[in-house]
Amino acid sequence: MSEIFLPYGRQSISEDDIEAVISILRGDWLTTGPMVEKFEGDVADYVGVAHAVSFSSGTAALHGAMHAAGVAPGSAAVAPSLTFAATANSVIYCGGRPVLADISPDTLCLDPGAVEAAAGHVAEPVRAIVPVSFAGYPVKITDFRDAANRLGALVIEDASHALGAERGLHKVGQEADMTVFSFHPVKHITTAEGGMVVTNSAELAKRLRLFRSHGIVKSPEDFVRAYAGAWDNDMVELGYNYRLTDMASALGASQLKNIDYFVMRRKEIAVMYREMLSEAPDIVLPPDHPGHSYHLFPIWVDGSRRKDVFDRLRGNGIGVQVHYVPLHLHTYYREKFAFFEGDFPLTEKFSSGEISLPIFPDMLDEHVELVVKNLALALGAR
């Protein structure tokens, strides 16, 4: 067993981040205070959108986005099978049917050509198309617009992997109707747990804020019944407590100051991996894009060798991970929605040989070399 363990991802916390959180602990507002709006404003400015609504996790943010899009019992949403469970679970939380579809081999993201065929297999109207910018590859949102218009659906980009990614001049977050980010510690910036929905629609932002805080209105102009006075509040729909705290928001705002460095360093590590692995005979490298923000660096080995290579790397302290076990092969999805092996051949092919190599901003060049050396050893050992 090796002395060092290199995780596939981890947070990068500065003294300024620590000070930012401490200053909140010394202040008046631990939650529902001014730092929440400050962090939301900072994210909106960074992404270049009108509204940002924070949530207590990326999963809660997805739940809010599905609700705001009108996903409800008797409706459906289309998502790729190659994703984390939360993408499609959020549809089920709203009582909707998750309709899964295959990926495109060029992007490893939801295949735009598969969306309408998948929608055609279910009776329920589709309220949302949910492409995932897998690994930080900025999937082209305009490719989903026609299908969304024909189906009468909104496009919700699950950009949990893709804060800081760019499509030409557009930061990820500007093009979909709503875009969801996660601030889990392995992501580009962290609030420990946390997430955000960004949108240019004031109407959607309003629905998201209501849903995040119990469905309770407090401002006189939001009342549907008579407003009784400054103490009054009215619950107009079922909502949740999905609020992000001021402590978490302070950490997020401080982290966001370093986003350019975080993305740049991830890209540097990806370039190093590409150069060092370009000649490796037994692996496939991930699709590249000038605006990729490299949350993950996935590689592919032959499916028959993945377990062996994975175990050898882990045994030598290289904390590789697999993204993902396809959703349609999870027991719950099989049993509840009658998915079967063979339903999404490309997803299954890519998933069966995938290994995510360590990539995070504090990784040193020698760590990258260590991963590559151990990968060569693992691949060579037969």
Would you tell me which residues interact with ligand PLP (CB under 6 A)? Answer: 57-59, 62, 83-84, 86-87, 132, 158, 160-161, 182, 184, 195
The least CB distance from residue 188 to ligand PLP, in Å, is 12
Helices and strands in the chain, H and E counts: 13, 15
Token reading at 103: 């990926």
Amino acid at 267: K
**Residue showing the smallest CB distance to ligand PLP in the complex:** 58
Q: Strand, helix or coil at 40?
A: helix
The least CB distance from residue 185 to ligand PLP, in Å, is 9
Q: What is the DSSP string of 217-275?
A: E-SGGG-SS----TT--EE-S---B-PPBHHHHHHHHHHHTTHHHHHHHHHHHHHHHHH
167 or 184: CB nearest ligand PLP: 184
The least CB distance from residue 243 to ligand PLP, in Å, is 14
Task: Give yes or no for a contact between 259 and 163, defined as CB atoms under 8 angstroms apart.
Answer: yes
160 or 179: CB nearest ligand PLP: 160
- Using CA atoms, how far apart are residues 104 and 87, in angstroms rounded to an integer? 18
Q: What is the DSSP string of 280-307?
A: -TT-BPPPP-TT---S-EEEE--GGGHH
CB atoms within 10 A of CB 216: 13
Task: Give yes or no for a contact between 77 and 83, defined as CB atoms under 8 angstroms apart.
Answer: no
- Using CA atoms, how far apart are residues 75 and 333, in angstroms rounded to an integer? 17
272 or 344: CB nearest ligand PLP: 344
The least CB distance from residue 84 to ligand PLP, in Å, is 4
N residues, the chain: 382
CA angle 125, 68, 336 (to 5 degrees): 50
The least CB distance from residue 136 to ligand PLP, in Å, is 11
299 or 378: CB nearest ligand PLP: 299
Main-chain phi, psi angles of 169, to 5 degrees: -85, -5
The least CB distance from residue 330 to ligand PLP, in Å, is 14
98 or 312: CB nearest ligand PLP: 98
The least CB distance from residue 165 to ligand PLP, in Å, is 13
89 or 316: CB nearest ligand PLP: 89
182 or 199: CB nearest ligand PLP: 182
253 or 375: CB nearest ligand PLP: 253
135 or 318: CB nearest ligand PLP: 135
The least CB distance from residue 187 to ligand PLP, in Å, is 7
Mark 93-110 as b/e (b = at least 16 C-beta within 10 Å): bbebbbbbbbbbeebbbb
The least CB distance from residue 318 to ligand PLP, in Å, is 20
CB-based burial of residue 290 (10 Å sphere; 0-12 exposed, 13-18 middle, 19+ buried)?
Answer: exposed
